[in-house]
Structure formats: structure tokens, C-alpha cells
């Protein structure tokens, strides 16, 4: 239902990191692009002990249904993406543990961390941090969000995080590029089911990765994973940043899901939109499947200083926009400022972030 691809390499004599993401869903997602400055006070929306923080970094975020961040990049070049994973398991809520809800989970990392290493170190120091799933609109109903996360940074480091069921317990698996011996290209790709460890094993069945099977062509997540790795490793060295972005976009389009009638049932996922985060250049691009023209925001040109204000660009109302849309941003209230439930404790708890 989603695909993430990270390319790292050289553009001229400089290292570069460019990440692409397809957002696959069965319905319009009412997406918007947000610019959040530093200095915003926020807290997680959970029962029991919550987390409070003040945003350290400004960020560009893509929201869905005015509900939460689903994708984004901060001013330091840390990017994050949530991909659906049916096997995700978060366990019962333990109200004595600090909880981080799904709507604010991605934004928490964008607000507080500059690199993947900082994220991993924070998670290792705060193992009692509990991820609390929320529900997302799905047609005329809603469904509990089940996701694994991918993050990458301007230095080219990457991490994939999954929460899975292990007996009666929650198993948190972290695949961090800095900890993996013989780190290779397949760790830079993420789709959906099955969990990441099984995706890596399945890849070994195919020619070029130890097996004899030909490149698969269906829209199944396991097939998209194989194609993503294959085409990613086949990309030519770019002559400039434009070619680096174009190369990533070409891989994203090869792993996209076309609009289609469901084979059975009443739901079929298709690629609604995609983003590309040029992390070294701090450029965030968006492309709709309905109006395939690129728009972008350049983080180097945006004001993220405390007090500069929250700004938004409504993508659903501006489908035909093209190019840099920074001049079309409009002032807005914080996406997370008015949707804290009464189930939260009326106590502001600031976590220590190191």
C-alpha cells in the first residue's frame, strides 16, 4: 500500500541522499503540506502518561484528513514515512508508560531530532516509550492504523522500525544502517507486508540476489519490494541533483499501483500521490497521480524560526499547482493544537531528549 526508496551516492564530488515515497490508498486523502516552525508546544494524545515537547526544528509535513503527519522532512534533512503493515502489534495500553499516539508520532521525530542516529539513540534510552495506534478515515468508516516507520537523513543513514507480536509481548525491531554489518541496498527499500525480515528473505529467491526467479511484476508488496531494490541498484550515477531526483522518481513510478477495480471485496489500494525528499539539498517535492505536475518547498528558503507561524498549502484545492509553492502558503493554526482528547492527563510532562 506504500513504497519507500532511498538513494545515496555522489553528485559530482558531493555526497547526496534522495528518498522517494509512494502513498497508496483506496480513497482521496485530503492531503495538505504544512510548514511548522520551531518553538511549538505539543503533547501526545493518549490515555495515561503522555509526552510533552517543544519543537526544536522546523519541518515540512504532509498530512492526511487533517489528522496527523504521514510523511515529512525537517530543516536538518531528517525525513520520515509511515507505511502500512498489517502485522503490526502495539499491545494493550499501559497508562503508566509514556505514550506517543499515531497522529503525532511522525511529527515527534521531525520536531526533535536532526539525524537517524539521534533517533535510534533516543529509542534505545527510552525503551518504555509506547506507541499508541489511532484510527484513520477509510471510505465511510475508519480503521486502526498499523504501520512500520522508515527514516533517513542528509548523511545517508537509514532506519526501519517495526512493532510486532511475539507471544504475548511486543517486539520492537530496529534496522539501523549504522549497526548492520555489510549494509546493502535492500535496507533502503520498504513496502508493506510481510514484515521487513521476511522481505529480505524473499528477495533472495530472485536473480541478482542469490536466486533464479525473474523480476516479479504484480502490485503485491513483496513484488514491489523486489522491483524497488532491483531498479534502485540499477540507477546510473547522476550528473547533477536534477538527475538524482529524476532517477528516484523513475523507481517510484515503477513500483506504483495503478487505479483499478478491486478483484474482490470493496477496496483496492492505488498510488494517490508521491513525495521526494532531497535531503542534502533540503528540497521536498510532491506529485499527485491526478495532476502529475511536481510542486516543491525549499527548506533552505523557508523561515522556521520560533514565532514565524504555521503555514499550510491545501493540495486538494490546488491540484493544478506547479513548481515552488512557498509563496502560496497561507497562515494556519497548528494541526495539533486543537485535537487533544479529554482522555489525556492534564499534566504537562516534558521528556528529556538527548
Side-chain-side CA neighbours of 254 within 13 Å: the count stands at 21
Cell triple for residue 327? 509563496
Placement of cell 523486489 in the chain: 226
- The confidence score (pLDDT) of residue 353 equals 44
Give the residue carrying C-alpha cell 517510484. Answer: 252
pLDDT on residue 181: 84
Q: How far is CA 135 from CA 45, 86, 171, in A?
A: 13, 14, 21
Please say if 147 is a catalytic residue. no
Give the model's pLDDT for residue 263. 76
DSSP letter string, 52-69: EEE--S-EEEEEETTTEE
Are residues 8 and 279 in contact, defined by beta-carbon separation less than 8 angstroms? no
Which residues contact residue 171 at a Cβ distance below 8 angstroms, ignoring those fewer than 6 apart?
A: 163, 164, 165
Would you call 247 helix, strand, or coil by DSSP?
helix
Q: Strand 158-166 relative to strand 169-176: parallel, antiparallel, unpaired?
A: antiparallel
Chain center to CA of 144: 17
Residues 6+ apart with CB under 8 A from 182: none
SS3 319: coil
Nearest to 150 by CA among 209, 199, 207: 199
pTM of the model: 0.93
Helices assigned H by DSSP within the chain:
102-112, 116-125, 196-203, 221-233, 241-254
The secondary structure of 331-350 as a DSSP string is E---TTSS---TTB-S---B
pLDDT of residue 172: 96
Q: Cα–Cα distances in Å, from 153 out to 20, 57, 157? A: 13, 14, 6
Nearest to 81 by CA among 191, 176, 205: 191
Confidence at residue 265, expressed as pLDDT on a 0 to 100 scale: 66
DSSP letters spanning 6-55: EEEEEETTEEEEEEEEEEEESS----EEEEE-TT-EEE---SBSB-EEE-
| Ordered per-residue pLDDT tens for the chain, 354 residues | 799 999 999 999 999 999 999 999 988 889 999 999 999 999 999 999 999 999 999 999 999 999 999 999 999 999 999 999 999 999 999 999 999 999 999 999 999 999 999 999 999 999 999 999 998 877 777 888 899 999 999 999 999 999 999 999 999 999 999 999 888 889 999 999 999 999 999 999 999 999 999 999 999 999 999 999 999 999 999 999 999 999 999 999 999 999 888 777 667 889 999 999 999 999 999 999 988 789 999 999 999 999 999 999 999 888 889 999 999 999 999 999 854 443 443 333 344 444
pLDDT of res. 133 = 92
Helix axes 221-233, 196-203, angle to 10 degrees: 60
In the numeric block, the cell 535531503 is attached to 279
Instruction: Give strand pairing partners of 297.
Output: 284
Look at residues 30, 110, 14 and name the one whose alpha carbon lies nearest to residue 318.
30
**Catalytic residue among 2, 60, 150, 245, which?**
2
Amino acid at each position: 500500500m506504500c513504497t519507500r526508496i532511498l538513494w545515496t551516492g555522489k553528485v559530482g564530488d558531493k555526497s547526496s541522499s534522495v528518498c522517494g515515497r509512494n502513498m497508496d490508498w483506496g480513497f482521496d486523502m485530503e492531503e495538505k503540506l504544512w510548514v511548522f516552525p520551531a518553538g511549538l508546544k505539543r503533547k501526545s494524545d493518549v490515555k495515561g502518561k503522555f509526552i510533552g515537547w517543544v519543537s526544536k526544528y522546523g519541518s515540512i509535513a504532509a498530512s492526511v484528513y487533517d489528522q496527523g503527519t504521514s510523511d515529512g522532512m525537517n530543516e536538518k534533512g531528517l525525513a520520515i514515512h509511515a507505511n502500512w503493515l498489517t502485522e503490526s502489534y502495539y499491545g494493550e495500553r499501559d497508562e503508566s508508560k509514556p505514550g506517543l499516539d499515531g497522529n503525532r508520532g511522525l511529527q515527534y521525530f521531525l520536531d526533535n531530532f536532526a539525524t537517524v542516529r539521534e533517533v535510534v539513540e533516543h529509542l534505545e534510552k527510552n525503551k518504555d516509550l509506547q506507541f499508541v495506534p489511532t484510527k484513520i478515515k477509510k471510505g465511510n468508516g475508519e480503521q486502526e492504523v498499523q504501520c512500520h516507520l522508515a527514516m533517513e537523513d542528509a548523511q545517508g543513514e537509514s532506519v526501519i522500525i517495526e512493532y510486532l507480536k511475539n507471544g504475548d509481548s511486543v517486539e520492537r525491531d530496529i534496522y539501523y544502517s549504522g549497526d548492520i554489518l555489510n549494509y546493502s541496498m535492500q535496507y533502503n527499500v520498504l513496502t508493506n507486508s510481510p514484515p521487513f525480515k521476511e522481505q529480505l528473505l524473499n528477495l533472495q529467491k530472485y536473480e541478482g540476489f542469490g536466486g533464479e526467479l525473474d523480476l516479479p511484476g504484480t502490485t503485491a508488496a513483496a513484488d514491489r519490494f523486489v522491483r524497488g531494490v532491483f531498479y534502485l541498484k540499477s540507477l546510473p550515477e547522476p550528473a547533477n541533483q536534477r538527475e538524482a531526483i529524476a532517477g528516484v522518481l523513475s523507481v517510484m513510478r515503477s513500483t506504483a499501483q495503478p487505479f483499478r477495480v478491486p478483484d474482490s471485496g470493496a477496496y483496492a489500494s492505488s498510488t494517490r500521490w508521491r513525495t521526494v525528499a532531497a535531503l542534502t539539498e533540503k528540497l521536498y517535492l510532491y506529485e499527485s497521480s491526478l495532476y502529475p505536475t511536481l510542486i516543491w518547498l525549499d527548506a533552505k528558503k523557508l523561515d522556521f524560526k520560533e514565532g514565524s507561524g504555521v503555514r499550510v498549502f491545501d493540495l486538494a484545492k490546488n491540484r493544478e499547482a506547479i513548481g515552488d509553492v512557498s509563496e502560496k502558503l497561507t497562515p494556519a493554526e497548528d494541526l495539533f493544537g486543537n485535537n487533544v482528547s479529554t482522555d489525556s492527563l492534564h499534566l504537562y510532562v516534558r521528556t528529556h531528549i538527548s
